[in-house]
Amino acid sequence: MSSTLTGRPATPVFSDLSPRLGVAVEGIDLRGTLAPGMFARLRQALLDRQVLCIRGQDIGPAEFLATMRMFGEPEIRPYIPHVEGFPEVTTISSGDRDTQGDGGRLVVGATWHTDDSFRSAPSALTALYGVEVPEVGGDTEFANLYDAYDALPEATKHRLAGLKAVHMMKPDREGIGRVRSLAPDVRAAAVPSVHPVVRTHPDTGRRSLYISRNRMDGIVGMDRAEGHRLIDELTAHAIQPRFVYRHKWRKGDLTIWDNRCLIHKANGDYPEGMRRFMRRIILLGDVPV
């Protein structure tokens, strides 16, 4: 392959990150203008592979925001810590502390979830940019809910057809822990929503599960215990290693994921004192159907 004097490949190179999902691209510099057709390739790679990691970036919040605006409309959460002057660009830090409880260390998203399923129109895409990443730990895991759905027995698919679930900030069930949040008023902002258990992706037309265990209060029309059992079974099915990609962060990764067909999980397993600092942009999504 030819390369420029800076050592970057002259042509961006895409490579799969795992057999089932995830693709990385090297040789793109988001400080400049993208080559003609490149945005369409990035968008398609994300739709095909659900997680897109643009490696080796050295960008500020304005460039991050401009990049993500190509993919959609950023959401503003004034109550979440953000970069000064950029309310769309929130931050996730190893220094985050629980504002509602004991003031202990807060790892955002440490259980399997999809972002904002308790909203009526949950987030379509989330992007994290790794400003500081730990040498060990702090991986983000992703589970492919298209493949998890496809792999279900026909009888289960039949059972799920037409089922709807109630999603909320703090479901009333045992074993999901308490809500830990960076946001003081997040409870007040959270009204329950009802979403299909199987949704069809608006861009790919593919069906996937749409689950987020710790935000699911129950299945509409089902006994509570039975609904919880079904949610637990679907979650256990979806997070089998064959459906999971575990992203080991490199500094300068800009990783974008599709909340409509994945669940993901943060790992707070890096040693105390080691820093992890991410900038984050969430893009608005549609009502799931």
Closest CA to 22 of 149, 150, 198, 140: 140
Site stretch for ligand OGA (CB under 6 A), options 37-45, 107-115, 162-170, 204-212: 107-115
**φ, ψ at 113 (rounded to 5°):** -160, 165
Decide if residue 109 touches ligand OGA (CB under 6 A): yes
Site stretch for Mn ion (CB under 5 A), options 3-11, 108-116, 163-171, 215-223: 108-116
3-state class (DSSP) for residue 39: helix
Q: Which does 148 bind (CB under 5 to 8 A by kind): ligand OGA, Mn ion, none?
A: none
Minimum separation from the CB atom of position 134 to ligand OGA (A): 11
Q: Residue with the closest Cβ to ligand OGA? A: 109
Please compute Rg for the chain using Cα positions. Answer: 19
Decide if residue 255 touches ligand OGA (CB under 6 A): no
Decide if residue 108 touches ligand OGA (CB under 6 A): yes
Among 115, 116, 217, 253, binds Mn ion (CB under 5 A): 115
DSSP E strands, 175-276: 193-196, 198-200, 207-209, 216-219, 244-247, 254-258, 262-266
Closest CA to 283 of 77, 142, 110, 79: 77
Please tell me the count of residues contacting ligand OGA according to CB under 6 A: 11
Decide if residue 92 touches ligand OGA (CB under 6 A): yes
Decide if residue 264 touches ligand OGA (CB under 6 A): yes
Q: What is the Cα 281 distance to its own chain's centre?
A: 10
Decide if residue 163 touches ligand OGA (CB under 6 A): no
Query: Any residues with CB less than 8 A from the CB of 229 and at least 6 apart, and which?
Result: none
d(C-alpha 75, C-alpha 279), whole Å: 14
Decide if residue 140 touches ligand OGA (CB under 6 A): yes
Decide if residue 77 touches ligand OGA (CB under 6 A): no
The gap between the terminal CA atoms of the chain, to the nearest Å, is: 44
Site stretch for Mn ion (CB under 5 A), options 35-43, 71-79, 80-88, 115-123: 115-123
Closest CA to 258 of 224, 227, 218, 288: 288
Among 128, 148, 198, 263, binds ligand OGA (CB under 6 A): 128
3-state class (DSSP) for residue 123: coil
Site residues, Mn ion (CB under 5 A): 109, 115
Site residues, ligand OGA (CB under 6 A): 92, 108-109, 115, 126, 128, 140, 264, 266, 278, 280
